[in-house]
Amino acid sequence: MVSSDSLITIGTRASRLALAQAKIAVDSLQKQWPKLQFQIETISSIGDLDPEADFKELSDKQGKGIFTKALDDALLDRKIDVAIHSLKDLPIEMTDGLSIEAVLEREDPRDCWISKDKVSFDQARQGAVVGTSSVRRAAQLKYQRPDLQIVPLRGNVDTRIRKLREGNGKESLDAVVMALAGVRRAGLEKEVTEIFSHRQMLPAVGQGAIALVIRMNDESTQGIIREVDHPESHSEVEVERALLEKLGGGCHVPIAGAAQLDQQGAVVTLEGGVFSPDGKHSLRAKLTAPKVEGKPMAARLAQMLLWQGGNKLLG
């Protein structure tokens, strides 16, 4: 039973984007539970403490969840009741005792191209310098444009755009590639030059979705959080995560996946991709099935990609 004076503590990272996502979650919760109090608590992850470090290097030191472990620990220590995450940051194997209890209505999962001179992707100069720290994005960019110079780019959304605008000399960037959802939530959509189609760039698994994670034995909070779950978005990301699980990949492997329910919410289409980091090989496959068969379909799609040669690309 939830009393009207209950205080629910929401944990989030402290970046502009993370705080924007936490506010979206709190607004949704407050609408459903107007008499409850929700408080946002910021917690720094190892990925935030060293914003210039290499993702893979951090993962090798930290293990899985460079952006999630601090929030996981805060949940398990009962310092917070709910953790807000970009769902694509969550490892497939959740920390023991924690679960994704709700997924908010998903923002557009596509990636976007932000050019310094407002030049489209196809029209970018030969040898253009493009910033991204995503191996998935880098691989797909190189597949289409082998001439591009891909350079690592870390930092939050506004930091990356600032580096694009202010870069000079050898460090000058011509463009950056980021998730459209993050750019929108940071209030910087006006910076977008072009939105990639799935044909051009297949998104990351879970991209555009906000996840609410709680302790599995916290039945009181569970009842509150479930009220803001968006079933269609939750179903789509579960199918995508099933594909990623079967492929055995994580955020440092060039794997992509996008699931979409039909208008009736009864049929789901899943497209998956596996790419070589150098951009020379691109494997894609697509299947459609009733929603209730979404996860088995994801397993079949993963097997198709592996048979096509994905097992060699994934090493």
Residue among 30, 20, 38, 29 at smallest CA distance from 225: 29
pLDDT tens, position by position, 83-127: 999 999 999 999 999 999 999 999 999 999 999 999 999 999 999
CATH classification for the domain delimited by 247-313, as one of 3.30.160.40, 3.20.20.70, 3.30.590.10, 3.40.1410.10:
3.30.160.40
Fold of 111-195: D-Maltodextrin-Binding Protein; domain 2 (3.40.190)
Query: Which residue type occupies 63?
Result: G
Query: What residue segments make up the domains of the chain, in order of their start?
Result: 7-105+209-229, 111-195, 247-313
pTM of the model: 0.90
- Is 14 in contact with 21 (CB distance < 8 Å)? no
CA gap 98, 94 in Å, rounded: 7
The low-confidence residues of the chain, meaning pLDDT below 50, are 1, 55-63
User: Two tokens at 83?
Assistant: 């953790």
Catalytic machinery residues: 89
pLDDT tens, position by position, 148-164: 999 999 888 999 999 99
